[in-house]
Amino acid sequence: MKNTISIFTIFLLLLSCGSDKNVSIDTLIANGDLNALRSKKTVITEQLKVLNEQVKTLDSVITALDTDTKLPLVSTFEVSSQNFQHFLELQGDVATKQNVLIYPEMAGTLQRVYVTEGDRVTKGQLLGVIDDGGMANQLAQLKTQASLAETTYERQKRLWEQKIGSEIQYLQAKTNYETTMSSVEQAERQLSKSKLRAPFTGIIDDVIKDQGTVVSPGPGSEVFRIVNLSNMYITVDVPESYLGSITNGSMAKVYFPVLGDSINTAVRQTGNFINPNNRSFSVEIPVPNKNGIIKPNLSARVTINDYSNPIALLIPQSVISENAEGEQYVFIVEKPSEEMQGTAKKRIVTTGRTQGRYVEILTGLTAGELIIQEGARSVKDNQDVQINK
């Protein structure tokens, strides 16, 4: 039936084109009259519009009367609310605040080294000793003098309390004792510099100087490197647009491509300064390292939760289309019957954030509606469709 109408339309068009005041198109073209050609074109165009409208009317009537018409087959899914979490993906490197080089505080020969690379040490543990150059003997003599000065002072103090002797003798004994004790404390502090101790609990990563090497304070004279792998963290630069959505306690996930492993953690600290060079602020994320396999400078991919909605409406991005005005829309099936037939309706929607292949719908849909998934590109608004069971 539709083919017959189309042929009839073409026939009428050709008929109208072949006669306009008994002047054929060929004759008009041969005459070269521009105004006549334009007038002929206007007449034909108007006739074509009328014929097209008549064809559309006939099509709609035929569709309504033809009980054998096959409806377009589509598949649908029901919109439901669900928990939606959006994550910002960033790149960072692992670092530790306890990764230091131990330098000597006095000059001398590295007399003893008590640790090797890989040893676990505790805070304050003795790592090495530098030859003190006889300072220990000097300290012993000062302690002997201090002991004598203390005895003299205590005796003079008791005599003075009994009003025996002069005050000047008591004060001289007291001053001598305090001066000697001060010298002892100073000598002990100086002697302690000959002992290299661990500043914190960690692992000896490198023994840089060998036993018997002459060392001295200053650059290039480091003796040990000690690292604490239990207090690791990652610092990433976050664009300033996320300043209000990423705060202390925001959930984060760290993935290590080299290790093929990931850990769940949370933001520990957010920076209070916007870097003017890249318009970002720093975020520090702790990295638990119970097994000790995570090392400083290890590359990591960080995802930080910057948005959550426990009742979000999520649909695949593939079912969304866009019209000429830039509006996004989907097709839903309205009032499906028991025979799984219904009418396709176009819905303008507003989208929010995306995560993977899904996008959040902010307006335009409600939970429970049926969205056309397969076949959405071929249906039209208000068209009857058959739902694939």
Taking residues 348-365, report their average pLDDT. Answer: 91
pLDDT single digits (tens) 94-124: 998 888 899 998 899 998 999 999 899 999 9
- Distance from C-alpha of 305 to C-alpha of 302, rounded to nearest angstrom: 10
How many CB atoms are located within 10 Å of the residue 192 CB?
12
Residues 6+ apart with CB under 8 A from 106: 130, 132, 190, 193, 194, 216, 217
Q: What does the DSSP assignment read for 185-215? A: HHHHHHHHTTEEE-SSSEEEEEE-S-TT-EE
Percent of the chain at pLDDT above 90?
A: 36
Would you call 155 helix, strand, or coil by DSSP? Answer: helix
Tokens of 98: 């306890």
Contact 287, 308 (CB under 8 A): no
- Distance from C-alpha of 336 to C-alpha of 342, rounded to nearest angstrom: 4
pLDDT single digits (tens) 235-262: 999 999 999 899 999 999 999 999 999 9
pLDDT single digits (tens) 282-291: 999 999 887 7
Residue type, 323: N
Is the backbone of residue 208 left (phi > 0), alpha (psi -120 to 50) or beta?
alpha
pTM above 0.85, yes or no: no
Question: What per-residue confidence (pLDDT) applies to 7?
Answer: 45
- Distance from C-alpha of 306 to C-alpha of 113, rounded to nearest angstrom: 50
Q: Which residue has the higher pLDDT, 359 or 10?
A: 359
pLDDT single digits (tens) 315-336: 999 899 998 889 999 999 988 8
Q: What is the pLDDT confidence band of residue 311, given thresholds at 50, 70 and 90? A: very high
